[in-house]
């Protein structure tokens, strides 16, 4: 089946659409630094919502690591709501803003559910040329907000 036309509500977020692949690095005060490979996909089915999926693998071995998927729901006023389900069982409701001109999205968790350690999660995304960069910070029951992930992916 061919892809239906993009819903106008997704126009300002169309810089995300497609498949992105690249490398990231992770850390936190309580863990050892690590490197990972990653693929992110954004797609749509004609509805005013963008689908999102992500998978990661250990750089050295290719062994699967964390994965997650969800839905991105931009609003006409520049705000956005993102729902994410993680392979670890954690669920997030993220709220934030997007900037179509800057090709950026900034999110903060409104809800983090079914998590044993995580209290809050902040995510920021930026597209520049054919690269997508993002950072993820989290607060846990032992540490305030601190970077956990940083990655740069290229459009494939």
> Can you give the binding site for ligand HEM, defined by CB under 6 A?
26, 28, 30-31, 34, 36, 56, 65-66, 90, 117-118, 121, 136, 138, 140, 142, 148-149
Closer by beta carbon to ligand HEM, 16 or else 121: 121
Residue 85 Cβ, how far from ligand HEM at the closest point, in Å? 11
CA of 60: how far to CAs of 31, 36, 43, in Å? 18, 8, 29
Residue 45: count of CB within 10 angstroms of its CB = 11
Look up residue 72 and give its DSSP letter.
Answer: E
- Biggest CA-to-CA distance, the chain: 49
151 burial via Cβ count (<10 Å: 0-12, 13-18, 19+) = buried
Residue 143 Cβ, how far from ligand HEM at the closest point, in Å? 7
Closer by beta carbon to ligand HEM, 41 or else 66: 66
The C-alpha R_g of the chain, in whole angstroms, comes to 15
Residue 65 Cβ, how far from ligand HEM at the closest point, in Å? 4
Residue 140 Cβ, how far from ligand HEM at the closest point, in Å? 5
Closer by beta carbon to ligand HEM, 63 or else 77: 63
70-125-38-75 Cα dihedral, nearest 10 degrees: 20
Measured in residues, the chain has a length of 156
Residue 66 Cβ, how far from ligand HEM at the closest point, in Å? 3
Closer by beta carbon to ligand HEM, 10 or else 107: 107
Q: In this structure, what are the phi and psi dihedrals at residue 60, rounded to the nearest 5 degrees?
A: -70, -40
Closer by beta carbon to ligand HEM, 102 or else 142: 142
């Amino acid at each position: 089946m061919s892809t239906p036309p993009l819903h106008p509500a997704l126009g300002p977020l169309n810089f995300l659409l497609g498949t992105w692949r690249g490398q990231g690095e992770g850390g936190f005060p309580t863990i050892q630094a690590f490197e990972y490979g990653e693929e992110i996909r954004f797609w749509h089915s004609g509805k005013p919502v963008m689908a999102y999926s992500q998978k990661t693998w250990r750089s050295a071995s290719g062994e699967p690591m964390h994965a997650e998927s969800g839905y991105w729901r931009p609003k006409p006023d520049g705000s956005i709501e993102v729902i994410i389900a993680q392979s670890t069982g954690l669920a997030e409701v993220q709220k934030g803003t997007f900037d179509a001109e800057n090709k950026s999205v900034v999110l903060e968790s409104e809800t983090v559910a079914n998590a044993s350690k995580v209290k809050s999660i902040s995510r920021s995304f930026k597209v520049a040329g054919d690269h997508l960069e993002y950072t993820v910070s989290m607060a846990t029951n032992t540490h305030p907000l601190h970077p956990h992930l940083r990655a740069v992916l290229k459009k494939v």
